[in-house]
Structure 1
Amino acid sequence: MKEEREHQNILVTKDLAIGYKQSKKDTLCLLSDINLTIRKGEMVCLLGPNGAGKSTLMRTIAGIQSPLDGCTLVEGIPIRDRNFKEIAQLLSIVLTERINVGNLTVYHIVSLGRHPYTSWMGKLSDADNEKIKWALEQVGLLHYANHYINQLSDGERQRVMIAKALAQDTPLIMLDEPTAHLDLPNRVEIMRLLHRLARETNKAILMSTHELDLALQAADLIWLMARNQPVKVGAPEDLVLNGSIEDTFQNKSFNFDRKTGNFIMNYQKKQTIQLLGNDVMGFWTQRALSREGYQVTCEQVGDCCVKLIEETMKWEIHQNGSVTCCNSIQELIACLKETLHTN
């Protein structure tokens, strides 16, 4: 069983130490004794606050930066001391930077993924062309093959770069914040695409990201980095339940809500107010009241209460025997400001 699991390993780091050589004698070690594994068909998200060493770890794994100690293996082959062509047949990289090569077609860009396998003349074989078409099909862009890259949206451009990585046909695909320049629908689509590709192609996918909410939904495993602490590894749900996510991103400005997987901003509380009602309407009402600085509770406090009338989608403010009806949360907030200020 152990041998079978090891056979499934695509990426393994052994006693890896990452950092920088400041001089011939001095080194700055960010983290040491890093032992991590990614198996076939797994999508792993690397998360952590700025300055934790995520980019350094990604560069070291990719062979762009030399480790201070230890080694990285892809399918059992050490990355260190391999030439660029050999590394390019083991792992492919999708970077954060936007693509500005407007005079190249989508097909041309994706074909660059076959470069590690072509002769010095760069001529594509029939097998190369089939692989390029397959990669474009996987990301849903085959019909854009002859379009110029500057005719595509940011989300489509990112899919082109993912197709290029697929055409490179490496067991490991690494992505550095692939959703950084995208709007919400495209961020979701890229994460869904990567999750599907890991399953269907059986490739290992490692991506660094700041999209915690999407990573919690899409990743099979999360590598959680914090300054001067060992990398925490686990299923997203385990890292939420054991408090690791909360501890790693601890900040006075917000709290991590384990129930929803969201960060909740901390606002200066000015008054406690009772809210009667729950479900969706209650959730959004409580969020709006919290943003305005109210401490929301279901217990009776003071002489002011907000009651939700879910059947008619209305809000009632009960205070000192009087009732004020509001037709929206915006109106509710305005009425509360006026009512409580007057009193």
Structure 2
Amino acid sequence: MKAEKKEIQDILVTQDLSIGYKQGKKESLCLLSDVNLTIRRGEMVCLLGPNGAGKSTLMRTIAGIQPPLAGCTLVEGIPIKDRNYKEIAQLLSIVLTERINVGNLTVYHIVSLGRHPYTSWMGKLSNEDNEKIKWALEQVGLLHYANNFINELSDGERQRVMIAKALAQDTPLIMLDEPTAHLDLPNRVEIMRLLHRLARETNKAILLSTHELDLALQAADLIWLMSRNEPVKVGAPEDLVLNGSIEGTFHNKSFNFDRKTGNFIMNYQKKQSIQLLGNDVMGFWTQRALSREGYQVSCEQVGDCCVNLLEDTMEWEVKQNGSTIKCVSIQELLFYLRNSLSKEK
């Protein structure tokens, strides 16, 4: 009996990869060396890092657009370096940042371009090609827009069209360069949720570069964290938060990374201390507003000003210099504190 072919789990592997640029015939500028990374089937990996860390160079090198200085990239065990464009197009598909402005093409026509690596020189679509296109459109929820022109769609819908094109290309690896650029918050969230679902349901490997740290921490299975002149750090988002890698990579005197919330918090110049009594959701947002206003917030008694949260009535009781007043909103609370502080001066 003939043994069944075992499905390859490691979709993308880089072996001792060095990335950078040739400078003349003999010299080269190496941004990163000895890069050994892996993406497995069904995983969504987010590439993060500050500007200038080499994210775009790494993506281009993996995709075969830019030659490596050393080492190689393998997709399903096949080296990219010496393959022609048609062969590479059957191994990986790419969704770029640029906005699509081809108003005379329908959604179906654009997605059908993903089948180009499999068609003859005449570009005629087979029944299998058409089935792949319809399936891809169904996956992104746009089958009912198949005959619409692309310029009739919103930015979020256009990005889903490009993801459908990559799905129709039917490659084991899908690469996306900042797929949430140009999108508003709801669409950024939807795109990240869509990509995470597609990795699971299609069993493809998805690699995307992004500046959306907060969304990457929630959606990614793995993060590749790049910083200048340092090896790429790899791990689950939570591991990179807990071991301080995220905080260290994005360290800046203007803000701090809060490990508890996964958010960046701006550093404001503190003008005085204030006591805040209360917690839960109301306390969190009150503390954030007071910090933005320049107060050092503490639950201990400090100075002569105390804000007590009356959660039952959603009011803020302010005790200062022997007097007590109540505010019915954070806006009113901040207005009162600003005026009382200016009077003291």
TM score, norm. by length of structure 1: 0.98
Equivalent residue letter for 1:333:
L
Q: Deviations over 1:31-57 (max 9, x none)?
A: 000000000000000000000000000
Task: Please tell me whether residue 193 in structure 1 is matched to residue 197 in structure 2.
Answer: no
Which residue is 1:146 aligned to?
Answer: 147
Where do 1:252-331 residues align within 5 Å?
252-331=253-332
Which residue is 2:63 aligned to?
Answer: 62
Comparing 321-330 with 187-196, greater Cα deviation is found at 321-330
Which residue is 1:112 aligned to?
Answer: 113
Equivalent residue letter for 2:314:
M
Where do 1:68-83 residues align within 5 Å?
68-83=69-84
Aligned-pair CA distance for 1:197? 0.2
Which residue is 1:175 aligned to?
Answer: 176
State the secondary structure of the residue aligned to 1:7: coil
How far apart, CA to CA, are the structure 2 residues paired with 1:317 and 1:337?
A: 13
Which residue is 1:157 aligned to?
Answer: 158
How far apart, CA to CA, are the structure 2 residues paired with 1:108 and 1:310?
A: 57
Moved over 4 A (4+): none
How far apart, CA to CA, are the structure 1 residues paired with 2:209 and 2:158?
A: 19
Equivalent residue letter for 1:82:
R
Q: Are residues 137 and 6 of structure 1, via their aligned partners in 2, closer, same or farther at CA, if it must alter by over 3 Å?
A: closer
How far apart, CA to CA, are the structure 2 residues paired with 1:268 and 1:319?
A: 22
Aligned-pair CA distance for 1:320? 2.1
How far apart, CA to CA, are the structure 2 residues paired with 1:77 and 1:210?
A: 30
How far apart, CA to CA, are the structure 2 residues paired with 1:265 and 1:140?
A: 38
Q: Deviations over 1:67-116 (max 9, x none)?
A: 00000000000000110000000000000000000000000000000000
Equivalent residue letter for 1:268:
Q
How far apart, CA to CA, are the structure 2 residues paired with 1:140 and 1:6?
A: 29
Equivalent residue letter for 2:318:
I
State the secondary structure of the residue aligned to 2:53: coil
State the secondary structure of the residue aligned to 1:269: coil
Task: Please tell me whether residue 250 in structure 1 is matched to residue 255 in structure 2.
Answer: no
Which residue is 2:23 aligned to?
Answer: 22
How far apart, CA to CA, are the structure 2 residues paired with 1:209 and 1:156?
A: 19
State the secondary structure of the residue aligned to 2:8: helix
Where do 1:35-50 residues align within 5 Å?
35-50=36-51
How far apart, CA to CA, are the structure 1 residues paired with 2:267 and 2:16?
A: 40
How far apart, CA to CA, are the structure 2 residues paired with 1:147 and 1:75?
A: 36
Q: Are residues 47 and 112 of structure 1, via their aligned partners in 2, closer, same or farther at CA, if it must alter by over 3 Å?
A: same
Aligned-pair CA distance for 1:6? 9.4
State the secondary structure of the residue aligned to 1:317: strand
Q: Which runs of 5+ in 1 are unaligned?
A: none
Equivalent residue letter for 1:222:
I
Which residue is 1:95 aligned to?
Answer: 96
How far apart, CA to CA, are the structure 2 residues paired with 1:182 and 1:302?
A: 45
How far apart, CA to CA, are the structure 2 residues paired with 1:8 and 1:93?
A: 20
TM score, norm. by length of structure 2: 0.97
How far apart, CA to CA, are the structure 2 residues paired with 1:303 and 1:123?
A: 79
CA RMSD of aligned residues (A): 1.1
How far apart, CA to CA, are the structure 2 residues paired with 1:60 and 1:6?
A: 25
Which residue is 1:137 aligned to?
Answer: 138
Equivalent residue letter for 2:223:
I
Task: Please tell me whether residue 219 in structure 1 is matched to residue 217 in structure 2.
Answer: no
Equivalent residue letter for 1:279:
D
How far apart, CA to CA, are the structure 2 residues paired with 1:297 and 1:125?
A: 68
Which residue is 2:8 aligned to?
Answer: 7
Q: Deviations over 1:109-144 (max 9, x none)?
A: 000000000000000000000000000000000000
